C-alpha cells in the first residue's frame, strides 16, 4: 500500500528544548507492548530508572508524570533522556509518532502533521506552496480499492482545487457551501463562544480567549481578515485530517462545517489580537485533540446543517 503525506511533511522536525508547549508535559503517555518489553529487559542504570518510572495497570504501562505533570524523562533543559541515553529508536510508539497522525484507507495510508504541535502550526500556517499529496513510502500490505473511498478522494480533490483556486478564503467557503448545498448554522460569534465554553477545557488561556470574544463589542464571524492564505492552509488541513472518516460515519456535512467553523473561530480570535500560530495550536489542542469536544461539535454541526 502506498503511503501519502502533504508536501510540507518533510519540513518537520521536533524543536525539542526550544518548544514552548512541549508535548512531553501534561499528557499521559502509554507505552506499547513491544517497547515495554525492551525497557523491561534493559538492565543498565538508566534502564532501572526507566522501569522505576513506569506504572503498570491491567490495560497498559505508562510513564509516571511528575507533580508538575512533566514526563519523568524530560530533563531540566527540556530534552528527552530516553533519546539521550538510548537513541531515538528506543522511543515508544506514541512518542516516535507524535505529532504525526495516520488515516487508513483500503488502498492507502495518509499521514499528516497534527496542528497541536507549535512547530507544525508554524509550518502549516506559513506554507506558500500549493497543497499536494506526495507518495513517501510503501507498505507490504496489499491494498483493496473501495468505490466509496475512490468517490470520496475525487470529491476531496475538487474541494482542494476550489480552496486553492478561489481568490479569497471567503469566496472559497461560499463556493463549497453552494456546491454541497449546506449552510452555516445561523449563530452569532457570541453564540459560538458560548458553545465552545460549554465544551471541556484544558487550559485557562483558552477560556480567557473565548471570554474575550464575549466581551468585545461588534465582532462578526465572517468578516474578511488579513490571513487569507493562512486560513486556506488551515481549512485544507482540517479537511485532509477529518473529512475522510465521513465515508464511514456518513457525517460529511458536519465534518466539512467543522473545518469551516474552526477557521472562522481562529480568524475571529486573530481579529481580537491573538497571534494566528498560537490560536491554531491552542484550538487544535483543546478541540481537535479532545475526542469528546471534536465529536460534540461534528454532531452539533450535522444536526444544524440544514439543507437549504
Q: Which one of 19, 136, 195, 197 is in contact with ligand SF4 (CB under 6 A)?
A: 19
Q: Which is nearer to ligand SF4, 2 or 21 (CB)?
A: 21
Instruction: Please tell me whether residue 23 binds ligand SF4 under the rule CB under 6 A.
Output: yes
Instruction: Please tell me whether residue 6 binds ligand SF4 under the rule CB under 6 A.
Output: no
Q: Which one of 50, 61, 99, 264 is in contact with ligand SF4 (CB under 6 A)?
A: 99
Q: Which one of 110, 119, 230, 286 is in contact with ligand SF4 (CB under 6 A)?
A: 119
Instruction: Please tell me whether residue 15 binds ligand SF4 under the rule CB under 6 A.
Output: yes
Instruction: Please tell me whether residue 22 binds ligand SF4 under the rule CB under 6 A.
Output: yes
Q: Which is nearer to ligand SF4, 99 or 254 (CB)?
A: 99
In the complex, what is the shortest distance from the CB of residue 191 to ligand SF4, in angstroms, rounded to a whole number? 32
Q: Which one of 50, 115, 117, 209 is in contact with ligand SF4 (CB under 6 A)?
A: 117
Question: How many chain residues bind ligand SF4 (CB under 6 A)?
Answer: 12
Instruction: Please tell me whether residue 286 binds ligand SF4 under the rule CB under 6 A.
Output: no
In the complex, what is the shortest distance from the CB of residue 114 to ligand SF4, in angstroms, rounded to a whole number? 9
Overall residue count recorded for the chain in this entry: 308
Q: List residues binding ligand SF4 (CB under 6 A).
A: 14-16, 19, 21-23, 98-99, 117-119
Amino acid at each position: 500500500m502506498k503511503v501519502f503525506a502533504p508536501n510540507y511533511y518533510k519540513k518537520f522536525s521536533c524543536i525539542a528544548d526550544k518548544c514552548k508547549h512541549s508535548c512531553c508535559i501534561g499528557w499521559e503517555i502509554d507505552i506499547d507492548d513491544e517497547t515495554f518489553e525492551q525497557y523491561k529487559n534493559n538492565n543498565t542504570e538508566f534502564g532501572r530508572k526507566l522501569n522505576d518510572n513506569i506504572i503498570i495497570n491491567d490495560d497498559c504501562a505508562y510513564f509516571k508524570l511528575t507533580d508538575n505533570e512533566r514526563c519523568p524523562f524530560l530533563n531540566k533543559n527540556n530534552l528527552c533522556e530516553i533519546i539521550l541515553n538510548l537513541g531515538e529508536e528506543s522511543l515508544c510508539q506514541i512518542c516516535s509518532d507524535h505529532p504525526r497522525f495516520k488515516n487508513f484507507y483500503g488502498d492507502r495510508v495518509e499521514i499528516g502533521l497534527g496542528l497541536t504541535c507549535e512547530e507544525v502550526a508554524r509550518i502549516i500556517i506559513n506554507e506558500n506552496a500549493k497543497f499536494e499529496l506526495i507518495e513517501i513510502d510503501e507498505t507490504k500490505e496489499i491494498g483493496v480499492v473501495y468505490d466509496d473511498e475512490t468517490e470520496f478522494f475525487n470529491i476531496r480533490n475538487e474541494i482542494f482545487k476550489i480552496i486553492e483556486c478561489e481568490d479569497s478564503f471567503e469566496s472559497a467557503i461560499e463556493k463549497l457551501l453552494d456546491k454541497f448545498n449546506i449552510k452555516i448554522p445561523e449563530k452569532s460569534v457570541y453564540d459560538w463562544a458560548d458553545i465552545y465554553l460549554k465544551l471541556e477545557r484544558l487550559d485557562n488561556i483558552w477560556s480567557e480567549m473565548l471570554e474575550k470574544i464575549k466581551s468585545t463589542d461588534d465582532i462578526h464571524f465572517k468578516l474578511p481578515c488579513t490571513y487569507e492564505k493562512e486560513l486556506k492552509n488551515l481549512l485544507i488541513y482540517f479537511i485532509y485530517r477529518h473529512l475522510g472518516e465521513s465515508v464511514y460515519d456518513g457525517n460529511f456535512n458536519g465534518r466539512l462545517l467543522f473545518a469551516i467553523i474552526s477557521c472562522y473561530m481562529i480568524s475571529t480570535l486573530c481579529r481580537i489580537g491573538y497571534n494566528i500560530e498560537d490560536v491554531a495550536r491552542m484550538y487544535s489542542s483543546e478541540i481537535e485533540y479532545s475526542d469528546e469536544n471534536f465529536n460534540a461539535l461534528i454532531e452539533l454541526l450535522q444536526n444544524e446543517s440544514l439543507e437549504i
